[in-house]
């Protein structure tokens, strides 16, 4: 029978599979956080009313945790909704041939530069064509629907841009999909060739074979998708499915045993829901591929959204758009978050009385390590 937290159940049951040096330190750290999230191992806050007392265990705050990742996504969406101007946006999905995915899977240090490459391609094309700068937000993405490794980028691009030389906002900047594809393809292949020449890229093939392979990939067509969003909220809902969340939703689990993990997937090619069955070891290996390394951001900002540039140009953009800048929203506390998302107050006891904070319980050692 599935628990209410199936991913946590899988990780607890398979601790011996992932809790050793064969897995990256970031993977072991995040998996352990999920396993002990909201348990006495992380400590707790104690509340009491006249007739009841409750303990609320601390969250793990891991990006890979379904619960904590969901909260982080909601807080991020609130902040961006207040920060971004009310204008149309585009969503650009930059992909690459699937035969290139293993290179980034094996050389994870190269993944960090992909968002900068994608943002530079878009900004350079728009600057060359329109002499304007745009708002750019990049969400790097590594997982496909079947939990396999699939390196690509989801990018928010403002439909208009700032012409600093003319001091005006250009409301409509059409993007040439084919030209963008050529530039993206050139940027990635050039980057991989440079990594190969500096010995920053390792694969089983010889350097000569890899050079020939990259040339072959440079000569083929790469897919790029363009989406139009009428509002920032539409994009933020779209991006929220990929940012700061684990690669599989809790509701997708069908069955968990000591030997296998079963979950459903909406297969776009077959246009129907299919069942995926993975041995526990394979499921853990797939899941581990999507855990980011330490100090790697889930969302990157470029163009007019670069923090240094944003401080200088944000007021100008809102003035040109004749919109009022909104203050940064106050961060929701855990009580307010539960009230907003689940329509219940966790600090109301069974008699309807409000409980007050009475103390804190120190973290308890997790003896399952």
Burial 7-26 (b: 16+ CB within 10 A, else e): bbbbbbebeebbbeeebbeb
Which tens digits make up the pLDDT trace of 332-346?
888 888 888 778 899
Instruction: Give the rounded distance of the alpha carbon of 127 from its chain centre.
Output: 28
> 277 — alpha (psi -120 to 50), left (phi > 0) or beta?
beta
Longest dimension (CA), the chain: 76
- Supply φ then ψ for residue 192, to 5 degrees: -70, -35
Q: Which residues, listed in sequence order, are joined to residue 149 by a DSSP beta bridge?
A: 143
pLDDT confidence of residue 85:
93
How many beta carbons lie within 10 A of that of residue 303, not counting itself? Answer: 25
Nearest to 299 by CA among 98, 68, 73: 73
pLDDT confidence of residue 169:
95
pLDDT confidence of residue 290:
92
pLDDT confidence of residue 263:
94
| Mean pLDDT, residues 186-214 taken together | 95
- Tokens encoding 16: 């011996």
**C-alpha span between 159 and 227 (Å, rounded):** 11
Say if residue 203's pLDDT is above 80: yes
Which tens digits make up the pLDDT trace of 26-52?
999 999 999 999 999 999 999 999 889
Residues 6+ apart with CB under 8 A from 199: none
Name the band, by pLDDT with cuts 50, 70 and 90, for residue 367: low
Which tens digits make up the pLDDT trace of 69-111?
888 888 888 888 888 999 999 999 999 999 999 999 999 999 9
Say if residue 313's pLDDT is above 90: no
SS3 102: helix
**C-alpha span between 99 and 328 (Å, rounded):** 43
Which tens digits make up the pLDDT trace of 55-77?
999 999 898 888 888 888 888 88
| Mean pLDDT, residues 300-314 taken together | 86
Helical packing angle, 66-83 and 232-240, nearest 10°: 160
Evaluate whether 25 touches 346 at the Cβ level (below 8 Å): no
Of the two residues 173 and 326, the one the predictor is more confident about is: 173
Name the band, by pLDDT with cuts 50, 70 and 90, for residue 253: very high
pLDDT confidence of residue 1:
58
Least confident of 119-123, 160-164, 214-218: 160-164
How many beta carbons lie within 10 A of that of residue 106, not counting itself? Answer: 13
Q: Which residues, listed in sequence order, are joined to residue 153 by a DSSP beta bridge?
A: 94, 140
pLDDT confidence of residue 368:
52
Most confident listed range (2-11, 195-204, 227-236, 311-320): 195-204
Q: Is the dihedral of CA 37, 40, 45, 48 positive or negative?
A: positive
**C-alpha span between 351 and 49 (Å, rounded):** 9
In the chain, count of helices (H) and strands (E)? 12, 13
- Tokens encoding 93: 């999905």
Evaluate whether 34 touches 62 at the Cβ level (below 8 Å): yes
Which tens digits make up the pLDDT trace of 207-252?
999 999 999 999 999 999 998 988 888 888 888 777 767 888 889 9
């Amino acid at each position: 029978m599935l628990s209410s937290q199936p991913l946590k159940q899988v990780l607890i049951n398979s601790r011996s599979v992932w809790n050793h040096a064969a897995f990256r330190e970031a993977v072991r750290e995040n998996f352990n956080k999920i396993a002990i999230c909201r348990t006495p191992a992380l400590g707790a806050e104690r509340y009491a009313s006249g007739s009841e007392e409750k303990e609320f265990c601390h969250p793990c705050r891991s990006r890979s945790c379904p619960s904590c990742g969901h909260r982080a996504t909601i807080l991020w969406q609130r902040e961006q909704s207040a920060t971004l101007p009310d204008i149309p946006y585009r969503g650009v999905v930059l992909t690459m041939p699937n035969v290139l995915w293993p290179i980034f899977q094996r050389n994870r240090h190269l993944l960090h530069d992909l968002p900068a490459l994608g943002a530079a391609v878009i900004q350079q094309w728009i600057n060359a064509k329109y002499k304007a700068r745009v708002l750019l937000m990049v969400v790097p993405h590594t997982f496909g629907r079947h939990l396999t490794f699939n390196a690509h980028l989801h990018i928010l691009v403002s439909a208009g841009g700032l012409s600093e030389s003319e001091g005006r906002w250009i409301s409509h900047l059409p993007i040439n999909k084919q030209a963008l594809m050529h530039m993206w393809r050139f940027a990635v292949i050039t980057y991989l060739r440079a990594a190969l020449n500096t010995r920053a890229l390792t694969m089983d093939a010889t350097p000569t074979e890899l050079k020939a392979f990259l040339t072959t990939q440079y000569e083929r067509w790469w897919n790029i998708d363009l989406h139009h969003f009428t509002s920032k909220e539409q994009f933020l809902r779209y991006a929220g499915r990929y940012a700061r969340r684990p690669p599989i939703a809790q509701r997708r689990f069908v069955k968990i045993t000591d030997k296998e993990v079963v979950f459903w997937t909406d297969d776009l090619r077959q246009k129907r829901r299919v069942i995926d069955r993975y041995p526990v070891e394979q499921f853990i290996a797939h899941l581990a591929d999507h855990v980011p390394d330490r100090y790697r951001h889930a969302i990157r900002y470029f163009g007019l959204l670069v923090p240094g540039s944003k401080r200088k140009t944000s007021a100008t953009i809102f003035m040109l758009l004749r919109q009022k800048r909104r203050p940064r929203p106050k961060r929701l506390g855990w009580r307010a978050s539960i009230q907003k998302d689940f329509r219940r107050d966790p600090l109301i006891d069974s008699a309807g009385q409000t409980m007050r904070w009475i103390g804190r319980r120190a973290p308890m050692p997790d003896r399952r390590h």
